[in-house]
Amino acid sequence: MMLADGAIRSGKTVAMILSFLRWSQATFSDQDFILAGVTAGALTRNVLAPLFQMLEALELPWEHRRSAGVVAVGTNRYHLFGADNDSAQDKLQGMTAAGAFADEAALFPRSFIDQMIGRCSVPGSRIFLNCNPAGAFHYLKTDFIDRAEQIGLYRLHFTMADNLTLAPEIRESYALAFQGVFYRQYILGEWVSAEGAVYPMWDAEKNTYEEKDPQMYEGMRRYCAIDYGTVNPCVFLDVRDDGRVFRIAREYYWDSAASRRQKTDAEYADDLAEFLGGDRNTVIIVDPSAASFKAELRNRGFRITDADNDVRGGIATTATLIGNRQVLAERNRCPALLREIQTYVWDDRARLRGEERPLKERDHAMDALRYLCQTKTGRFRRMGGLPAGGRA
């Protein structure tokens, strides 16, 4: 087995794809191989796109059989798989492979990696693994990297300096795009765990403001980020955006358990209309799973967009914006958000299992904030954006 890990944008994916391709073509003919990504879309974007460019440059005959999920190169066949949940390993059952390539392997369930290794039973077969670091207790760290000599694993550790196409200023810009544990994992390439507060960079003074004049929001975009709940609390965040800084001007918070009364979709829609003062031009950012509520809002003429619900990516983005003081909350009108952000912590039990996720308690305003940041933040804003008043 061979594992390449380290910083983002370090060139490890391209190096491993080319290595896997040339090795498999030089060593075998008329054999089956596994090509796996977290999802089919991620596999197409991260692996197949550069692979096809390499095949053209090397002038190798190839064919992408989309309906069969196979790329044929010469006489060899490369079978395409997504590995986004534990049941994904079932797709490999019964297969005999001469090798496998797993992109973003740290995001794969352990069951898929074990099944993939078990399928590679042709003499001389090899496993290629490629990933960014995760937590210190992740199975790839404890059972593979830490036992490399024992299990026959060759490890290649990459830094951004290994990517000769990146100019120094580009490397510096990526370093500015992450904070906290994500900086150590994505930029320094360390296998470290997230512990304690999720947003330790939050500053009660620097990340808050006081609205002294409502005219201060003139010319800014307006969003409303919603974490929808019936049994759980429902949160609306009224957001003003100048292109660089998200200002959380007000919040709505309804806790059905504390109030001992659940609200219907229609009642929440009424509350939202009142909360926004009848403004139908505000872009409403809602969790994609809130299907019935979204239908109610559309029927009333609200502008709806599905939130990007990538938890890990969303937390990384939110942490960066908080650290750059690009998320500010009105200190007198966002009590739930300000309360939750102080108690929002990583789940210690999950960490010991090699998982990184926040504790699912008192996190509803935090979810709404994450939806906002992950859905409406581009690369330019992540790296500091424009001065206040500009446009990202």
Question: Over the stretch 230-246, which tens digit does the pLDDT of each residue have?
Answer: 889 999 999 999 999 99
> What pTM does this model have?
0.78
221-227 and 234-241 as β-strands: parallel, antiparallel, unpaired?
antiparallel
**How is domain 208-382 classified at the architecture level of CATH?**
2-Layer Sandwich (3.30)
Ramachandran region, residue 213 (left: φ > 0; alpha: ψ -120 to 50; beta: rest) = beta
Tens-place pLDDT, residues 209-233:
999 998 999 999 999 999 999 889 9
Structure tokens at 180: 């906290």
Sign of CA dihedral 14, 150, 98, 103: negative
Q: Tell me if residue 355 falls in helix, strand or coil.
A: coil
pLDDT at 383: 63
Helix axes 364-376, 335-343, angle to 10 degrees: 90
Give the pLDDT score at 115: 96
Q: Is the pLDDT of residue 363 over 70?
A: yes
Q: Would you give the DSSP letter of residue 277? A: T
Q: Check if 2-171 and 208-382 are the same fold.
A: no
The Cα 317–Cα 320 span in angstroms is 5
Spatial strand order in the sheet of 2-6:
62-65, 70-73, 76-82, 32-37, 99-103, 126-131, 2-6, 154-158
Burial pattern 4-37, b for ≥16 Cβ within 10 A else e, equals: bbbbbbbbbbbbbbebbbebbbeebeebbbbbbb
Lowest pLDDT segment from 93-97, 275-279, 377-381: 377-381
**With pLDDT > 90 as the criterion, what percentage of the chain qualifies?**
79
Task: Give the CATH number of domain 2-171.
Answer: 3.40.50.300
Token output for 21: 């391709």
For 34, 77, 257, the CA distances from 52, given in Å and listed in that order, are 16, 14, 54
Give the pLDDT of residue 97.
98
In the prediction, which pLDDT does 389 show? 41
pLDDT on residue 387: 41
CA angle in degrees (0–180, nearest 5) for 15-17-18: 65
Q: Tell me the domain boundaries of the chain.
A: 2-171, 208-382
- d(Cα 239, Cα 329) in Å, to the nearest integer? 9
Q: What is the overall mean pLDDT for the chain?
A: 92
Q: How confident is the model at residue 17 (pLDDT cuts 50, 70, 90)?
A: very high
Give CA 24 to chain center in angstroms: 31
